[in-house]
Every structure is written in structure tokens, then in C-alpha cells.
Amino acid sequence: MTMAKLILSLDGSVIREVPLDKERVTIGRKPQNDIQIENLAVSSEHACIVTILNDSFLEDLGSTNGTLVNGNPIKKHILQNNDVIEVGKYKLKYIADTPGAGQTSADDFEKTMVLRSPMARPAVVPKPSGDTQTGAAPAAAAPPVATAEAAKPAAAAPPLAAVQILNGPSAGKELELTKNLTTLGKPGVQVAVITRRPQGYFITHVEGASFPVVNGKALDAQAHPLKDHDVIELTGVKMEFFIKTR
């Protein structure tokens, strides 16, 4: 059986791995702690992690300098895979019990594997499900069903949309958004991009000192979802975004 673990590191260098093999694992400066961290910023009994079956709970034990998870101070926290706990300058990365260790499936077959020539020494490429693949026969590859599905982009395209220019010399001109990305504006001055995604269309600032304006409001650096009949302004040009087909 595998179990969850913590990877203790300082300034990006891994110090050691600590398996969460007890119901209660304590972290602190004093030697009686399961994870002893000899650092003045760490309280003598700083925090503890209680593990019940597959879930681990982190609790700050009233430490002086606090406990952070992913940069946020916490009192109690249910640990998620890859959470980073910070105690003083030390970091403890939480690695959950391997999800679905007993699960074979398409997923395993898609993992990159090494194919070795039959001349090579016996291969040691154990997989969780034991589906070691060696030898040179292409026939030994994954079943067709498993990977054929992965080969084609599964994205459902949203309905066709366009922007129509509302003012200036090009007024009335229409630009269909047939690609995943369409840039608008003047390179070097101001450019925005409209991205077409399964969940709809989004506009994002690309370059220039000023940001695009949608319905009279300037955007920030974040992608902004576009709705039918939104009015976009860019370098003084107004244009309307609209959905063409349903």
C-alpha cells in the first residue's frame, strides 16, 4: 500500500521525504516532534497533520509565526495533492496517496513508455498496473480504443461569431472569427486577441499602453468573456461582436 507523504525543502532544495505513516504527525522545533525543524521561526510545537484513511488534515497548533498553505495563512486545512505548507522558511509539499493505484485503463496506456530493442537487457519499466511494454513489436502497443480517442482534439467549437467595424473608413466591414485566435489592432500600438474556446469567445490584451474597452469599460490583463452584441473599442475603432449562427 502506498501512502501520502511530505517533501521537506528549504530554498528549493529537498531535504527529505516524510511518509504520513501515523495517524498524527507533528511538526515543530522540539526534538519530540515527528518532523523536527530546528529554526527559530518555528514554534516548539508548530503544527500537526492528522491522517484518516486517504485524507490528511493540517492544523496550526497556535504557532507564533503561523502556518501557510499555498501562501495563505491557515488554522485548519484539508490537504489537497501538491499543497505547499510553509513553516518558517521551510516548505513541505503534500503528495497524496497515488490516486487509483489499482486502476488500469486508457490513462496508463497513454503514459510515455520506453520501447527498447530486443537486444537490450531485460527491461525494468514497472507500471502501477504491471503493463510493462518492452520489445520492438508495434503490435505490443496499447489497444486501439484506448489511444485513438486521445489523438483527436475533442474540443467542441462554439457557434460562429464575427466582429463588425462600426466607425471610421472601414465601417461596416465584417471579420469572421474562424480561427482559434484572431488579433485586432495595430502591432506596436495596441493589439488585442479574441480566442475561440469550447466555452465561448474571450478577448485579451496583447500589447500597447492602453487596454481594450468593452461596453465602455477598460479591461485589465485578464481574459474577458464576450457576449453577443458587446462593443469593443481599440485604437479609436469601435466594433461589435456578434454570434452569427446558432
Site residues (vs other proteins, CB under 8 A): 2, 81-82, 95-96, 98-99, 101, 107, 109-116, 120-121, 123-128, 132-133, 138, 141-144, 146-148, 150-155, 179-183, 187-188, 191, 193, 195, 197-198, 204, 206-207
Rounded to a whole number of angstroms, the CA Rg of the chain reads 27
- Shortest Cβ 77–other proteins spacing (Å): 19
- Shortest Cβ 178–other proteins spacing (Å): 11
Nearer Cβ to other proteins, position 10 or 125?
A: 125
State the amino acid at position 169 in one-letter form.
P
Q: Classify 198 in phi/psi space as left (phi over 0), alpha (psi -120 to 50) or beta.
A: alpha
The grid cell for 133 is 511494454
Nearer Cβ to other proteins, position 30 or 116?
A: 116
- Shortest Cβ 159–other proteins spacing (Å): 16
Nearer Cβ to other proteins, position 42 or 191?
A: 191
Nearer Cβ to other proteins, position 92 or 193?
A: 193
- Shortest Cβ 138–other proteins spacing (Å): 6
Among residues 161, 160, 168, the alpha carbon closest in space to that of 238 is found at 168
Sheet holding 190-197, edge to edge: 181-186, 190-197, 200-207, 224-225
b/e code 21-44 from CB counts within 10 Å (16+ = b): eeeebbbbbeeebebebeeeebbe
The grid cell for 31 is 526534538
Nearer Cβ to other proteins, position 26 or 109?
A: 109
